[in-house]
Amino acid sequence: MTIAFPYSSTIGAKARMDRARFQDGFAKGTIAFAAQPSNNDTMAIAGSTFTFKSSAASGLQSNIGASIDASIDAAIAVLNASADANIVKCKYRRKGGAVATGNIAFAANPANNDTVTINGVAITFKSANPTGNQVLIGASLDATLDRLADFLNASANASLTPALYGIGTPVAATGSFTFSQNPANNDTITIGGTVVTFKTSGATGNQLNIGADLATTLTALKNFLNASADANVSKCTYGSDATHLSITAKTGGISGNAITLDYASTAVSARSAATLTGGKSKLSVQALVPGAAGNAFTLAASAATASGSTLAGGTSLLEVIAKVAGSAANALTLAASVATVSAATLVGGDSRRTRWGSRTAGNRFEPVDRSRWATRMGSARWVWTPGAYYP
């Protein structure tokens, strides 16, 4: 629907702005770019094909820019100016998409002169007297990472300031025992120094009665360990299947890597290692601004593991908005060869979502009936006409 405004006062202009912002039944969709388009990559909008070109773009084409956002902006300029019968049904704009993220995972406290390199800037860990791009190693890994995050967030280096740094969700250490048969009487496994003994009957304390078969015994063992109040056993959670007892440290990070595993049983065919393994603490890195540009932010480390060579997951969005409110625009299609569309068609168009309303002092919109609106606005009256109004 279109709204015509026969008014002659400034209050009429305000009424038009308020009424326009309250209308929300326009179908929309997005095309999300995580990387630069290449020559001859395409987007299909409402049945018309748009092509990215490395040079000499013409018609429904635009030249690829120096950055992803520049390429999207160039495409938007062509799309909004196009007279193509399908393209003209919508308007186009760029908006922020997903934020690029990454991390550097440490399995141990860094040693003197270990480094991390963030967006080309090398940061060196020092055991004493750090200067410049150096960080003092703490008494624990978490203390070191706190100092590293604080240093990075306080830096004025232009290569570091596009991101936010913190302590990421730690990875819990894990381990397992593999059983080839049901344990025998007085067989044992040891977790964190606590010995658990299998008994044919009469189990007490840190003892467990052997079940009718291996699967039954392991289920009982899992339940026994998860219910234990023992100071060592209770540091972990336990799971089981037909032949395995799995063990996971309750506290994430490297502390779980110190929990020991041992056994004295011919029924145990293997243990994962002498201790739990894989516990890590992370430095998290997140681009400050949503968009695909953050995916170019690089990560590396000499004694740790980066989630990737760059941050990942950042997207820049080309938003497509139907010019006419209503459900008919939900049939307008979207596709792309190098990007991800929000859906195969625009969505959200609804002819019933148009409402009469006014803006309150608190900037909230409240419905009013049409006759009261006309009375309030005096000569600034609303007249419904069909057409192509859009926000």
pLDDT at 24 (0 to 100): 54
More confident residue, 374 or 139: 139
Whether the per-residue pLDDT at 388 is higher than 60: the answer is: no
Going across the sheet that includes 194-199, the strands are 207-209, 194-199, 188-191, 261-264
**Among residues 144, 143, 162, which one has the least CA distance to residue 153?**
162
Q: Are 163 and 285 in contact (CB under 8 A)?
A: yes
pLDDT for 95-120, tens place per residue?
989 999 999 999 999 999 999 999 99
Residue spans of the domains in the chain: they are 1-23+357-391, 24-97+315-353, 101-169+280-306, 174-271
Whether the per-residue pLDDT at 353 is higher than 90: the answer is: no
**Residue given tokens 């049945």 in the structure block:** 47
pLDDT at 22 (0 to 100): 41
Whether the per-residue pLDDT at 23 is higher than 50: the answer is: no
Alpha carbon separation from 238 to 1, 244, 249, 298, 321 (Å, rounded): 61, 10, 9, 38, 51
What percent of the chain is modeled with pLDDT above 70? 84
pLDDT for 204-238, tens place per residue?
999 999 999 999 999 999 999 999 999 999 999 99
| pLDDT (mean) for 377-390 | 37
Other CB atoms within 10 A of residue 257 CB: 20
Whether the per-residue pLDDT at 14 is higher than 70: the answer is: no
| pLDDT (mean) for 176-193 | 98
pLDDT at 351 (0 to 100): 72
The whole model's pTM is what?
A: 0.75
pLDDT for 166-178, tens place per residue?
999 999 999 999 9
What percent of the chain is modeled with pLDDT above 90? 82
Band the pLDDT of 352: cuts 50, 70, 90.
low
Whether the per-residue pLDDT at 74 is higher than 60: the answer is: yes
Flag the least confident range among 12-16, 159-163, 316-320. 12-16
**Residue given tokens 């773009």 in the structure block:** 57
